[in-house]
Amino acid sequence: MSVGIVMLVHTDFDRAKQIARHWTAAGCPVVIHVDASVSRKAYTSFYRALVTDPLIRFCKRHKCEWGTWGLVAASQSASELMLDTFLDVRHVYLSSGACVPLRPVKELIEYLEARPRTDFIESATTADVPWTVGGLDEERFTLRFPFSWRKQRFLFDKYVELQRRVGFKRKIPNGLVPHMGSQWWCLTRQTLSAILSDPERDTYDAYFSKVWIPDESYFQTLARQYSSNIESRSLTLSKFDFQGKPHIFYDDHLQLLMRSDCFVARKIWPHANKLYDTFLGKGSVTTKMAEPNPAKIDRIFAKAVERRTRGRAGLYMQSRFPNDGWENGVTCGRYSVFQGFSDLFEDFEPWLAKATGTQVHGHLFSTEKVEYSGGQSAFNGALSDSAAMRDYNPIAFLTNLIWNTRGERQCFQFGPHDEQWISWFMAKDPNAQISVISGAWAVPLFKSNRNFADLRREAAELQRVESQFLNTLRSPYAKARIRIWTMAEFIEAPMEPLQTVIDEMGQSGLRRLSEAPKMADLTGFGQFLQNLKNQGMHPYLMGDFPVESSDPNQKKPPRKPYLVQ
Amino acid sequence: MGVFQSYRLRLLRRRWLIRAIHKRRELRPIVDRTHQIRSSDLLCFSTLRNEHVRLPFFLDYYREKGINHFLIVDNDSDDGGAEYLAEQPDVSLWHTRKSYKRARFGVDWLNWLQFRYGHNHWCLVVDPDEFLIYPFCDTRPIRALTDWLDASSIKSFSAMLLDMYPKGRLDEQPYQPGQNPLEIASWFDSGNYTVEKNKKFGNLWIQGGPRARVFFPDRPEKAPALNKIPLVKWNRRYAYVSSTHMLLPRGLNQVYDEWGGEKASGLLLHTKFLDTFSVKAQEELQRGQHYAASVEYKAYAQTMRDDPELWCKWSEKYINWRQLEILGLMSKGNWA
């Protein structure tokens, strides 16, 4: 008999009974503290059920409210009773009614016997750990907390504020260095009795009774005064989420808990029958003298907290709808937008798909309908091709499309013919790669066989829309990767910009471009532009195109095919 | 939100409650087993009409998930469903002949029953064709969820409506009593939902799915709302405003995170689209008892006559909750 268990109980008495009997069956004495706010009836039946066991004692009851002194007072009373009653106890293990031993008690006894002078108590100085939730770390020890955080939150907050404003600071007695850590400890008789029989204990108790959450700092601080050998970790596996409340274990955690090799875990859901049956049953757990290793459980809970606090970027749904600027990424992946390319090149879309292996759509924001790649009538996630549905919420349309195709880069065409509402959103999105050949919209006009008056009107309109889009892209708020060439600039050496854009996409396994897309025949384009100018409509977005000789009979040498190095 | 606005919402809530209390006279108890309800019980509330064929599976599904008592309003069924329900040991049943529409689509009746019996209980409000899916629902009962919500001081739990449909014509595979409707209607739309915020009540307004895609491609604003908050730790001061889409006080509608994180949420698998649908749609159209002058049912009747297929190449087949979580339709939040 070397380890005694102190159990703090306030609810789920049936489970507590089961646990207490499990400890005593292995020969460990148990001292139980029942919260003073538990009804007399519940207490009596619990007491009657266990008092016959010679290894179980009940200590004086204190009112235990979370974050208050009561929990420390309870641990003190129970520990005193334990040390006085069971003289051969060497280690005292503080636990609760929701703590379940995961390994046979025998192993815990052997483990502690092999370390007779070690105190297992997590204890760190406040400055060095980021544990605290809610902003009170150093101040826990220097302010006073007479109000309940749960029931008198308003007074609690106001009183803290007042003390901060006045500059009130408590003096920490006898040069104690405040330490904090998990409230579940396992101390040796030597250390524990030194703490409990310290001549200065009244001073310490008076001080700590006004500290915020003293159960995480009283023993943690005082153990530093007496212990010769502190192992700063808790033997109890107890994980806290971002609000500071403990994670709960369920039946489906069984394998995880078994593999953790921890001695004790909390909290276990009281209805997790499989866990209780497995861990409190006899001999069902394999024996091995392994060190506790909660790393995998840590990872799972850390992930859960991250899911709750950061969420999945680019996802908008019923329980994640971030305010502007809080999205951690407005879309979930990179995508490329091309303006003017499919006007200038006759086979740009199939060429791009072949060159990069990405999904290449037509004009997704076309006024007629959504032009998905291959002319499909619906797309990933059952997105419809109805323009009305897309325009009902264009941002949701785009974020959905990018979310639905996670892992596959999307490229699409954009242009001044298209609905423009989305342009601000794309310009601000760092995931967007926007490449524009300005003025290329004039090429289809040039090729078309329409009345010049109509062409002139349309050209003016397209130029106006595109110039607005370019202003958006040049705004200081634009965060996309943006490249703009005038058409004249671009056709000088088209391969170089294409190569840059495609390299930046970073699709793996790409070689240098070996084949160029086929450029539209631009013979006479300069004259076309001049005609527009002559009509009073000055197209300027495409840059300077020289007017070719007006003599139709003059032979022009065929344009050299551009070469790829 | 200003004092004035919050006072107006308070008056509105009072008004719905008074209306609900008034409407209690329309309900006649058939079997009242509410004395069996214990203080920790999980309660399920439902209004229905002619759903006999669905009832056996519905009750079993929720019993298995840990619902202790069902409180059901029967709006004048004539298919034997009421008699069937009256025999069930864990069902309390009320009957009414009055207008579903004038009881604000059943909300007033259920608000009354929840006012009377739901106080301090976790209450689930679902239709017989809605099946609640929540994180870990394959290994943990609803009580694990509600205990966790209690411990986290969360009072309401969101579960968006996810419309399920079969592959092929709706009437191809007839539904049998007791059968899992998800065996037939096992497909859904995974990523075409749009979300907006309703400033007045603070809830999200979600539309999309197959109903928007097939029935309302040209009028997406008319597509039905899919956001639902069906599971609430009830207090007699609470009131549902419009179906289970939103509640008052408006704090209960805050089931979503606005700072980039994800709160825990589930889904209601909506198995409306079975072979029973076209008959039902016809009947409901004649009764004219549904929302917005039954615009939804008119659109259904029109489309179903021409081509009653909701399935498309990009439909997703239902596997389990983890699949729905990965697709981003629901979230574990920080429950692990």
User: Does the beta-carbon distance from B192 to A242 stay under 8 Å?
Assistant: no
Residue located via tokens 């009421």: B82
Nearest to B144 among A271, A320, A327 (CB): A271
Res. B265: pLDDT tops 80? yes
- On whether the CB atoms of residues B130 and B235 are closer than 8 A, the answer is no
Pair of tokens at residue B170: 């709706």
What pLDDT is recorded for position B308? 66
- On whether the CB atoms of residues B72 and B85 are closer than 8 A, the answer is yes
- On whether the CB atoms of residues A147 and A183 are closer than 8 A, the answer is no
CA dihedral A477, A479, A480, A486 (to 10 degrees): 50
- The C-alpha atoms of residue B101 and residue A284 are separated, in whole angstroms, by 59
Least confident of A141-150, B83-92, B238-247: A141-150
- The C-alpha atoms of residue A410 and residue A314 are separated, in whole angstroms, by 15
Give Cα A548 to chain centroid, integer Å: 61
**Percentage, residues of chain B above pLDDT 90:** 66
What pLDDT is recorded for position A355? 87
Nearest to A320 among B197, B217, B257 (CB): B257
The 10s digit of each residue's pLDDT in A122-139 is 888 877 766 655 566 777
| Partners of residue B328 in chain A, C-beta under 8 Å | 312, 315, 317, 403
| pLDDT lower than 50: segments of chain A | 550, 552
What pLDDT is recorded for position B139? 93
Pair of tokens at residue A438: 């300005």
- On whether the CB atoms of residues A64 and A8 are closer than 8 A, the answer is yes
| Partners of residue B191 in chain A, C-beta under 8 Å | 380-383, 400, 403-404
Least confident of B45-54, B206-215, B253-262, B298-307: B298-307
The 10s digit of each residue's pLDDT in B159-191 is 999 999 999 888 888 899 999 999 999 999 999
What pLDDT is recorded for position B106? 85
Pair of tokens at residue A238: 């107890």
Query: Which residue does chain B place closest to A316, by CA atoms?
Result: B195
User: Does the beta-carbon distance from A403 to B328 stay under 8 Å?
Assistant: yes
**How many other C-beta atoms can be found within 10 angstroms of the C-beta atom of residue A164?**
12
Q: Give Cβ neighbours of residue B229 (< 8 Å, ≥ 6 apart).
A: B156, B157, B158, B159, B203, B244, B245, B246, B247, B252, B253, B255
DSSP string, A419-432: --TTHHHHHH-TTE
Query: Residue type for A490, please?
Result: F
What pLDDT is recorded for position A133? 56
Query: Which residue does chain A place closest to B228, by CA atoms?
Result: A318
Res. B282: pLDDT tops 80? no
- On whether the CB atoms of residues A296 and B240 are closer than 8 A, the answer is no
User: Does the beta-carbon distance from B314 to A312 stay under 8 Å?
Assistant: no
User: Does the beta-carbon distance from B333 to A318 stay under 8 Å?
Assistant: no
Measure CA of the first residue to CA of the last residue in chain B; give whole Å. Answer: 34
- Does the CB of A250 have a partner CB in chain B at under 8 Å? yes
> For residue A46, what are the CA distances in angstroms to A29, A39, A43, A85?
17, 11, 5, 21
Helix (H, G, I), strand (E, B) or coil at A460: helix
Q: At what angle do helices A218-226 and A189-196 cross, to 10 degrees?
A: 110
Pair of tokens at residue A299: 């990872």
What pLDDT is recorded for position A507? 73
DSSP string, A187-221: EEHHHHHHHHT-TTHHHHHHHHTTSSSGGGTHHHH
- The C-alpha atoms of residue A470 and residue A480 are separated, in whole angstroms, by 13
- The C-alpha atoms of residue A157 and residue B16 are separated, in whole angstroms, by 35
- The C-alpha atoms of residue A251 and residue A273 are separated, in whole angstroms, by 7
- The C-alpha atoms of residue A309 and residue A304 are separated, in whole angstroms, by 9
- On whether the CB atoms of residues B65 and B137 are closer than 8 A, the answer is yes
- Does the CB of A322 have a partner CB in chain B at under 8 Å? yes
- The C-alpha atoms of residue A352 and residue A349 are separated, in whole angstroms, by 5
- On whether the CB atoms of residues B205 and A317 are closer than 8 A, the answer is no
Pair of tokens at residue A273: 């029958």
What pLDDT is recorded for position A560? 57
Q: Give Cβ neighbours of residue A168 (< 8 Å, ≥ 6 apart).
A: A143, A144
DSSP state of B183: G
Which domains, ranges and CATH numbers included, belong to chain A? 3-309 (3.90.550), 335-534 (3.40.50)
A159 backbone dihedrals φ, ψ, rounded to 5°: -70, -40
- Does the CB of A151 have a partner CB in chain B at under 8 Å? no
- Does the CB of A273 have a partner CB in chain B at under 8 Å? no
In angstroms, the separation between the Cα of residue A181 and the nearest Cα of chain B is 22
Nearest to B143 among A271, A303, A379 (CB): A271
The CA-based diameter of chain A, rounded to the nearest angstrom, is: 119
- The C-alpha atoms of residue B137 and residue B156 are separated, in whole angstroms, by 17
- The C-alpha atoms of residue A305 and residue A240 are separated, in whole angstroms, by 9
Res. B197: pLDDT tops 90? yes
What pLDDT is recorded for position A536? 87
Give Cα B273 to chain centroid, integer Å: 15
Query: Which residue does chain B place closest to A389, by CA atoms?
Result: B220
Nearest to B190 among A242, A328, A382 (CB): A382
- Does the CB of A331 have a partner CB in chain B at under 8 Å? no
User: Does the beta-carbon distance from B158 to A319 stay under 8 Å?
Assistant: yes
Pair of tokens at residue A274: 């499989």
The 10s digit of each residue's pLDDT in B93-131 is 999 988 888 888 889 999 999 999 999 999 999 999 999
